[in-house]
Structure 1
Amino acid sequence: MSRELSPREAADRFLSRRRQRQADETVRSYAHRLSHFVEWCEENDIERMREIGGWEIDEYRHHRESGDVSPSTVKSAMVSVKQLLEFCERIEVIDEDVAKKVEIPKLTKDEETSDEQLPADRARKVLAYFRDSDQWFGTAWHASLEVFWHTACRLGGLRGLDLGDYDPDEGTLWFHHRPETKTPLKNDAEGERIVSVNDDVVAALDMYIARERSDKRDMYGRDPLFTTRQGRPSRTTIRSWCYQATQPCLYTGCPHSRERHSCEWTSRAQAGKCPSSRSPHAVRTGSITWLLNVTDGDIEWVARRVNSKPATIRRYYDKATVVEEFEERQQRHADLDINDEST
């Protein structure tokens, strides 16, 4: 039997193995990163994995570095290629030690973490605009952004919420891990938690349910909290809501010198191309930073609320500025004195 596989066939087989033991979201991330590699191979007439050697690996890295991508994106791309090549070595599709020729970029801490977030001051402005607007109050854009910001949940967490997971009387949202009906949480059952929300979030959700929510069940007979006319919204739909909700031209002038009524970036399909729009992950990053600031850096509490590890928050999510860090230190240690024997 032939052991020749094309890059596309090899990637498909690799992803199939990953699906057996990893969460859907993780597999989607691998698929996205490897799609760039597969497309590059096809554009460069690489028909068999056996044709890939040190030169091709370096050429692909140069290709990724030449694009408008961050150093962390390049690193993720090369890690995925290395793992694909290691898989191909195990099943004897390529020669041994090819994967060792992949050089993983070494990044500084600043390069490794993304600075893209929805800052607290912008979140405050856009949420205030939604709350005061007869047109936008309680829409899917508004209600979902309230939940994203005040719970710092992931996109999959919001998508998996059912109507019964929301308790308006108690002001809580219950995040459940339900992989059997295609709404898993990133950390499986360990990600299950009840999160309290304030009266403003409750008001937005109550209005959304009363005025905007389609009374539709999903394909498993569940009642989603957020819906479209087809049932539970897709990840793409929710991401578009977030992109459109965070465009500053909603509540102030366009920072890119465009007119909102004629700008193609305001459309659902193009909203993610607006340089000022923010993804759910960027909202989560901004929210976690805000939570750390308002809780005086209580990383353990924040980690429990947002379902993350304290070490992960320290490395990837704590985006406090130099000024914020100074002010926090100044507040905690304003009375330091060399003559004070108790310090």
Structure 2
Amino acid sequence: MLEPTAPREAVENYIDDIKHELAATTVANHRYRLEQFIQWSDEAGIDDMNSITGRKLQEFKTWKQGTVAKVTLKNHLSTLRQFIEFCEDTNTVSTGVGRKIRLPTMQLGEDVNDTFLMAKEADRILDYCEKYEYATLRHTVFHILWHTGMRSGALRGLDVSDFDSHNGLLSIRHRPESDTPLKNKQRTERDVVIADELVTLIEDHLDMHHPYVDDDHGRTPLIGTRAGRMEQTTLQRNIYTLTRPCHYTNECPHDRDMQECEATSYNTASKCPTSVSPHALRKGAVTEHRKQDVPKEIASERMDMSGDVLDKHYDKRTEREKAELRKEYLDDI
């Protein structure tokens, strides 16, 4: 017999179930995608998961597919399928409904999201931060992500003790027992070399703005808030906010009225067509490393990804840019 459960309650139950098994970034992505399902449920008048059927899920797919790219839709539906299967296991949805979710078929190249932050925009953002938000949490987060290309989940898991200012290193470690696992676990633990400029910025952040509040496990996070360790959603919102052009240029490239635009608040910055996620920032960082002639093997180790994944999903150089770099190597042959 099914247990009556509201969509939001079911989502919270699902998040509670996965949050100790998956990296914080993955959990945050699942939460974000399922918020879309909750929004649709509200609009469709669905207040009990017991009423979810294959037909209802097809209606959600139709509602969603006109607003996002095909690869994004596939990711949303994959998460939804996992959630519905969890609901089946907890007697919230009838058995077999999850299997009725049909994922879109991807053609060659369609499973690649081409959104990334360009280096010239990153430079403008850093210039803005140097003048107006120096060593703030947002400035520090952005600079670390751009300079290192690390995942936001890895950044979130850093402690103050992981910062070696003398040697210019950030030590990335897998700590699942205290809620900061790495996506690829122990095999991707590493020390990341950082430039003197970033060392100084982190030192200044620690001196000027860091709250020095421990998290629930008694650890002092490098990226800390007055509540302890920064939540993944908070990190994402800070990046979306900082990468809105109106934030760092005071101009809107989309000719919107900034007094009326829905994307100008901290909580809705992701609705700006030009703001980007931490993942898109990471892709931009990888691309810039490759443009600056950092070998693929070095970039892949530094940023924790295989060479094949780097080529397919992260290296956004044009074919002309790749050819020009090859030419520099081959001129004397």
Q: When the two structures are superposed, what TM-score results if normalisation uses the length of structure 2?
A: 0.82
Distance 2:222 2:92 in 1: 47
Inter-CA distance 332–129: structure 2 relative to 1 (3 Å threshold): same
Q: For structure 2, list consecutive stretches of 5 or more residues without a partner in the other structure.
A: none
| One-letter identity of the residue aligned with 1:213 | H
Specify the structure having the higher radius of gyration (Cα).
Answer: 1
1:11-26 superposed matches below 5 A: 18-19=18-19, 21-26=21-26
Residues 243 and 23 (structure 1), Cα distance of their counterparts in 2 relative to 1, 3 Å cut: closer
Alignment correspondent of 2:58: 58
Change (3 A) 1:285 1:42: same
Instruction: Work out the CA distance in 1 between the residues paired with 2:86 and 2:241.
Output: 40
Within the alignment, does 1:32 sit opposite 2:32 as a pair? yes
Q: Residue 268 of structure 1 aligns to which amino acid in structure 2? A: Y
Aligned counterparts, 1:111-130, within 5 A:
111-130=110-129
Contact 2:20 2:176 in 1 (8 A): no
Which residue identity does 1:112 align to in structure 2?
Answer: D
1:328 is matched with which residue: 303, 311, 325? 325
Tell me, yes or no, if structure 1 residue 309 matches structure 2 residue 306.
Answer: yes
Q: 1:43 to 1:148 in 2, by over 3 A?
A: same
1:1-343 alignment, distance < 5 Å: 2-3=1-2, 6=5, 8=7, 18-19=18-19, 21-41=21-41, 43-44=43-44, 52-66=52-66, 68-86=67-85, 98-131=97-130, 133=131, 135-249=132-246, 250-251=248-249, 253-257=251-255, 265-295=263-293, 298-333=295-330
Q: Distance in 2 between matches of 1:136 and 1:54?
A: 49
Shift of 1:283: 1.0
Which moved further from structure 2: 282-291 or 221-230? 221-230
Gap runs ≥5 in structure 1: 337-343
- What TM-score do the two structures reach when normalised by structure 1? 0.80
| Distance of 1:252 and 1:10 partners within structure 2 | 41
Q: What amino acid is the match of 1:120?
A: A
Which amino acid in structure 2 is aligned with residue 119 of structure 1? Answer: M
Per-residue Cα deviation, 1:270-318 (whole angstroms, up to 9, x for no partner): 433333322222111100111222235x333212111123332222212
SS in 2 for 1:269: helix
Q: Distance in 2 between matches of 1:263 and 1:98?
A: 39
Pick which of 54-63 and 197-206 moved more. 54-63
Identity among equivalent positions (%) equals 33
Distance across 1 between alignment mates of 2:13 and 2:147: 40
CA-atom RMSD, angstroms?
3.4
The residue identity in structure 2 corresponding to 1:240 is: R
For the structure 1 residues 175 and 27, does the alpha-carbon distance in structure 2 shift closer, same or farther, using more than 3 Å as the test?
A: same
* Residues 37-84 of structure 1: per-residue CA shift (max 9 Å, x gap): 355346445577675554333322111113x22212211222234344
Bigger Cα displacement from structure 2, 226-235 vs 92-101: 92-101
Give the total of aligned pairs: 331
Q: Distance in 2 between matches of 1:257 and 1:44?
A: 33
- For the residue of structure 2 that corresponds to 1:55, the secondary structure is helix
